[in-house]
Amino acid sequence: MANWIFLTCYALIIGHELDAIHQKEWRIFPGTNLLPDQLGFQVFNALHVPLFILLNWLFFLSTPAVMTAAKFWFALFAIAHIGAHWLYRNHKEYRFNNPLSKFLIWAPGVFGALYLAITF
């Protein structure tokens, strides 16, 4: 059961990252917000490839101890991610105001909390 809850948290974050591209999150994200728009999009998008390779390795291909620790920290991240969006909610480029975007921000945090509650 815990594995399904974690996978749901992870899948929801991936969904959020797809939405983040649609919502032009690079215009908010520190670093990419300083780049010209097209370059910011390209960098933001391209950085997700090694990020997801690393996360998939940590969650599914590393040692059991590393997998456990990585899932713990990712679940905490999913919760803290809600706070990050709350902090940036008044940024002039913030576009995560529709129901799907809000769901894809909140739901991973809920599943991350649930995962932590039943696992640790």
Encode pLDDT of 6-19 as tens digits: 999 999 999 999 99
- Please say whether the dihedral angle defined by the alpha carbons of residues 97, 82, 9 and 26, taken in this order, is positive or negative: positive
Q: What is the mean pLDDT of the chain?
A: 97
What pLDDT score does 83 carry?
97
What's the structural domain count of the chain? Answer: 1
Any idea what DSSP says for residue 58? I
Encode pLDDT of 26-45 as tens digits: 999 999 999 999 999 999 99
Q: Write the burial class of residue 38 (CB in 10 Å: 0-12 exposed, 13-18 middle, 19+ buried).
A: exposed
How many whole angstroms separate alpha carbon 84 and alpha carbon 97? Answer: 14
Quote the pTM value: 0.95
- Checking if the pLDDT of 120 tops 90, the result is no
Domain enclosing residue 70, as ranges: 2-119
Mean pLDDT of 97-114: 98
Identify the CA nearest to 40 among candidates 51, 52, 24. Answer: 24
Encode pLDDT of 43-101 as tens digits: 999 999 999 999 999 999 999 999 999 999 999 999 999 999 999 999 999 999 999 99
